[in-house]
Amino acid sequence: MSEPSTPPRQQSGHSHCFSRSERAEVIHSQLLASRHRSIPILIGVLIVVHLLAYASGLRMLGPWTGTILIWTIGGCLIWASVVDFIRFEIPNFATLGLTCAALYWVATDARVPWQDHVLAAVFWPIAFELIRRVFLWRSGFDGLGFGDVKLMAPIALCCGLIGSAQVVLIAAMAALGFVLISSLWRGRAAIHVALPFGPFLCFAAWVVWISTL
């Protein structure tokens, strides 16, 4: 089971101008094309890149008693990132696994201010859903998918209110930089580049969370 992180179909009303409709169709075609990528090669490359990057963070952290927990959270983030990059979908089970691991960490680590983390897990998905709806209303197509909204619950549970703000800022800046570089490389307007936001959220969440341990 998966949840679209950037749903492919345009959901605009008839009142939107042609440029918005055309933009949505371009992005829709990119999303459809993404479903025919060379899956085995991409999966292998992405997993290796993620493991190296995540392992370097763990190496910097040093010895920690929660190694199994930290790799459970890291594994769920990698799973969500790889599938989202390839399919523009965030697997529900990856989000569920991340949520269970985050709940366990908050409940068992006495150093965690659980009230702040629980509040964050409520606030940030709601904020993302509002952003998603406003963007859809203004542009005629989804910039965020509901998969991103649900993913923010366990991320916020791990990172807390302020940490989650840092996650969103880092992810947004990284995604913007990637889009600009990609548009220059392909000679295509940045506004016509379809890009999953989940991988940027996941990596930013890993960086912020692991820095608090």
Q: Is residue 114 part of a domain?
A: yes
Distance between CA 184 and CA 190 in Å, rounded? 8
State the residue range of the domain holding 174.
Answer: 31-211
Say which amino acid occupies 6. Answer: T
Place of tokens 């799973």: 79
Digit-coded pLDDT (tens) for 65-117 = 567 888 889 889 989 998 888 888 899 999 999 999 999 999 999 999 999 99
Q: How many CA atoms lie within 13 A of 156 on its CB side?
A: 23
Report phi then psi at 92, rounded to 5. -60, -35
Please name the residues in contact with 27: beta carbons below 8 A apart, sequence gap of 6 or more. 8, 141, 192, 194
Distance between CA 196 and CA 213 in Å, rounded? 28
Task: Give the residue among 8, 6, 202 at the shortest CA–CA distance from 95.
Answer: 202
pTM, two decimals, is 0.78
Q: Is residue 26 part of a domain?
A: no
Digit-coded pLDDT (tens) for 133-191 = 998 888 777 778 899 999 999 999 999 999 999 999 999 998 888 888 877 876 665 56
DSSP for 142-186 reads -SS-HHHHHHHHHHHHHHHHHHHHHHHHHHHHHHHHHHHHHHHHH
How are the residues of the chain apportioned to helix, strand and coil, as percentages rounded to the nearest 5? Answer: 75, 5, 20
Q: Is residue 102 part of a domain?
A: yes
Between strands 2-4 and 89-91, the pairing is: antiparallel
E-strand ranges in the chain read 2-4, 89-91
Q: Is residue 65 part of a domain?
A: yes
Q: Is residue 138 part of a domain?
A: yes
Q: Is residue 10 part of a domain?
A: no
Place of tokens 């998603």: 132
Lowest mean pLDDT among 19-33, 75-89, 91-105, 197-211: 19-33
Q: What angle do CA 112, 117, 119 make, to 5 degrees?
A: 145
Which residues in 142-180 are b (16+ Cβ under 10 Å) and which e? bbbbbbbbbbbbbbbbbbbeebbbbbbebbeebbeeebe
What's the confidence (pLDDT) of residue 57? 61
Please name the residues in contact with 23: beta carbons below 8 A apart, sequence gap of 6 or more. 139, 140, 141, 191, 192
Number of domains in the chain: 1
Q: Is residue 120 part of a domain?
A: yes
Mean pLDDT of the 16-40 span? 55
Q: Is residue 3 part of a domain?
A: no
